[in-house]
Amino acid sequence: MTTQVNDLLNALGVSEAARSGGTLAVRSPIDGAQIGAVHEATVADMQAAIARSHAAFLVWRNVPAPKRGELVRLFGEELRAHKSELGQLVALEAGKVTSEGDGEVQEMIDICDFAVGLSRQLCGLTIASERPGHRMMEQWLPLGVVGIISAFNFPVAVWAWNSALALVCGNACVWKPSEKTPLTALATQALFERALARYGADAPAHLSQVLNGGAAVGEALVEHPKVALLSATGSTRMGRAVGPKVAARFGRSLLELGGNNAIIVTPSADLELAVRGILFGAYGTAGQRCTTTRRLIAHESIHDELVARLDRARASLKIGSPLEAGTLVGPLIDKASFDHMQQALQQARAEGGEVSGGTRALAEQYPNAWYAVPALVRMPAQTQVVRQETFAPILYTLRYKTLDEAIAMQNDVPQGLSSAIFTNDLREAETFLSASGSDCGIANVNIGTSGAEIGGAFGGEKETGGGRESGSDAWRNYMRRATNTVNYSRSLPLAQGVKFDV
């Protein structure tokens, strides 16, 4: 495992010195083996990095946006050329199955392409002025230093959503990755630096920096007054700590926090499609996506049949090393995660749930890793445990009588990220998407809750934090809006008919 990781890091351009001899031990969730010892930044390092980043911003903001796009285009080229190496490293460090590791790098490439196009379309409005000989317009201007805190489960793609947009928008970035995935971050940084070197002299150094370290280093990023936007992905608990601190200094934050995503299946649904959508949503990535399907709300007329089919399919999912062909469910990230899963299952039983699966798997083969049999839990009602996000492969199943009841149940959780309905009834689909339907940032019909494309805005409401990243007009988060009124007449009329004649 270590040799494999070292070969990949060499190919990706991460120096031996950067990945060994440090205090942050990195373990592969595949077998628990140590695969690196990364140097940790101090709070002072973070502060110095933010100062360098601000200096880079002062230069970069004046480079025309389409020229800034050229840097992101070159970065996208590096990612294309190294897709399989970086994807493999994601598999080794985060424990994702290879196709999902590769898919994550594809997501980075896609957002780079999107950002390059955007670099010629950072448009503001022209607005009619009530005054003769006046023109009003708005401009979108670079914002400043963008701090990015990312989670282990999408160790590189979510950073790319933020940084590709932030860079074309004229900002400089400082990245604090998850302590569980520092190697993929170093590799991404190395690829970015190659792009920077190819771009040449117009780009300032320190346009994008990565600092590995613990909570104190992250906190220094959150609290620094020069960080204009702090984009954080992770648990609602983390967001509760970060959001108020950024707000207290009137900084901007973009929060992408927990989800508790449900799929409603109605009597008219294509059950075959629904089973496939629910299986990937609930158990893909071993239940460790913020968009993972955690609840199934099925109509009482089809509930038993659907749940029985799901349960059979669940039991046949191949659990194993993500590097082996055919594996669909890899390991949990660590023991703490497995323990949380067990606690949730125990609580579910106490609340009347009937649990299938959920036990430890492959313990003999991998005594230091944490594989779990995906769990399906038939719940009598949406009890407390169902209302919380447990970052593990647990699907709670619930039954409903009327669509109104199903939608109310789907919305009756603190989180509001993703949701879906499987139906062939147009009325049901449109009701679900309407103002009185799903209250989530993402609402789908006949596809699952996870695996969103980058072209749409990504994020959700309530405890999910309200942020929108990635596609659509999410770029506006990374810019400041200036409203300009230009007077090209020879008089000075005041708005609203106010007179002030001197």
Question: Catalytic site residues?
Answer: 256
Can you tell me the distance from the alpha carbon of 379 to that of 31, in angstroms, rounded to the nearest whole number?
33
Q: Which helix (H) or strand (E) holds 280?
A: helix 271-283
Q: Which of 26, 263, 290, 317 binds ligand UN1 (CB under 6 A)?
A: 290
Q: Cβ closer to ligand UN1: 431 or 470?
A: 470
The least distance separating ligand UN1 from the CB of residue 150, rounded to whole angstroms, comes to: 9
The least distance separating ligand UN1 from the CB of residue 39, rounded to whole angstroms, comes to: 26
Q: Cβ closer to ligand UN1: 236 or 431?
A: 236
Which residue shows structure tokens 């449900």?
Answer: 262
Residue 382 is a binding residue for ligand UN1 (CB under 6 A): no
Q: Cβ closer to ligand UN1: 26 or 94?
A: 94
Vertex 367 angle, CA 332 and 39, to 5°: 65
Q: Cβ closer to ligand UN1: 145 or 158?
A: 158
Stretch of 72-80, 199-207, 283-291, 424-432 contacting ligand UN1, by CB under 6 A: 283-291
The least distance separating ligand UN1 from the CB of residue 474, rounded to whole angstroms, comes to: 13
Burial (Cβ within 10 Å: 0-12, 13-18, ≥19) of residue 134: middle
The upper half-sphere exposure of residue 384, i.e. CA atoms within 13 Å in the direction of its Cβ, equals: 7
The least distance separating ligand UN1 from the CB of residue 439, rounded to whole angstroms, comes to: 18
Q: Determine what percent of the chain falls in helix, strand and coil, rounding each to the nearest 5.
A: 40, 20, 35
441, 445, 451, 455: CA torsion to nearest 10: -60
Vertex 375 angle, CA 369 and 376, to 5°: 175
Q: Which of 28, 291, 321, 477 binds ligand UN1 (CB under 6 A)?
A: 291
Q: Which of 374, 441, 451, 466 binds ligand UN1 (CB under 6 A)?
A: 451
Residue 452 is a binding residue for ligand UN1 (CB under 6 A): yes
The least distance separating ligand UN1 from the CB of residue 103, rounded to whole angstroms, comes to: 8
Can you tell me the distance from the alpha carbon of 106 to that of 475, in angstroms, rounded to the nearest whole number?
20
The least distance separating ligand UN1 from the CB of residue 449, rounded to whole angstroms, comes to: 8
Stretch of 293-301, 444-452, 475-483, 485-493 contacting ligand UN1, by CB under 6 A: 444-452
Residue 293 is a binding residue for ligand UN1 (CB under 6 A): no
Q: Which two tokens stand for residue 330?
A: 């890899």
Can you tell me the distance from the alpha carbon of 338 to that of 332, in angstroms, rounded to the nearest whole number?
7
Q: Which of 423, 450, 464, 477 binds ligand UN1 (CB under 6 A)?
A: 450
Q: Which of 171, 233, 236, 438 binds ligand UN1 (CB under 6 A)?
A: 233
Q: Cβ closer to ligand UN1: 243 or 451?
A: 451
Q: Which helix (H) or strand (E) holds 347?
A: helix 335-350
Rg value, the chain, Cα: 24
Can you tell me the distance from the alpha carbon of 385 to that of 413, in angstroms, rounded to the nearest whole number?
11
- Within 10 A of 227 (CB to CB), how many other CB atoms are there? 25
Residue 444 is a binding residue for ligand UN1 (CB under 6 A): no
Running DSSP on this structure, what letter comes out for residue 473?
T
Binding residues among 93-112 for ligand UN1 as defined by CB under 6 A: 107
Longest dimension (CA), the chain: 90
- Within 10 A of 49 (CB to CB), how many other CB atoms are there? 23
Which residue shows structure tokens 């220094």?
Answer: 220
Chain centroid to Cα 24, Å, comes to 23
Q: Cβ closer to ligand UN1: 191 or 442?
A: 442
The least distance separating ligand UN1 from the CB of residue 171, rounded to whole angstroms, comes to: 21
- Site size for ligand UN1 (CB under 6 A): 11
Binding mask 125-164 for ligand UN1 (x = CB under 6 A): ----------------------------xx---x------
Q: Which two tokens stand for residue 432?
A: 């679900």
Burial (Cβ within 10 Å: 0-12, 13-18, ≥19) of residue 424: middle
The least distance separating ligand UN1 from the CB of residue 13, rounded to whole angstroms, comes to: 26
Site for ligand UN1, rule CB under 6 A: 107, 153-154, 158, 233, 289-291, 450-452
